Amino acid sequence: MKRLTSRLVIVGLVGGLMLAGCASTKKLNEQVDNQIASEKVGDGSASKARDAIWNHPNLTEDQREKLLSLHKEVLLKSSQIREEAAKTKGVFFEALFSNQKNEKKLTLLKRRLIKLNQRKMELMLTSMSRARKIVGKSEIDEGFIGEMKDQFFYDREM
Rounded distance between C-alpha atoms, residue 121 and residue 53, angstroms: 22
Residue 32 confidence class, pLDDT cut points 50, 70, 90? low
Segments making up each domain of the chain, as ranges: 1-39, 45-152
Please tell me which residue, 36 or 103, carries the higher pLDDT value. Answer: 103
Rounded distance between C-alpha atoms, residue 29 and residue 23, angstroms: 10
Average pLDDT value for residue range 103-119: 92
Average of per-residue pLDDT values in the chain: 74
Average pLDDT value for residue range 48-69: 86
Residue 62 confidence class, pLDDT cut points 50, 70, 90? very high
CB atoms within 10 A of CB 66: 18
Cβ atoms of 29 and 124 within 8 Å: the answer is no
Break the chain down into helix, strand, coil percent, rounded to 5.
85, 0, 15
Average pLDDT value for residue range 116-128: 91
Cβ atoms of 81 and 116 within 8 Å: the answer is yes
pTM here? 0.57
User: Residues 64-84: pLDDT tens digits?
Assistant: 999 999 999 999 999 999 999
User: Residues 129-144: pLDDT tens digits?
Assistant: 898 889 886 444 555 5
pLDDT at 40 over 60: no
Residue 122 phi/psi, 5-degree rounding, is -60, -40
Average pLDDT value for residue range 86-106: 88
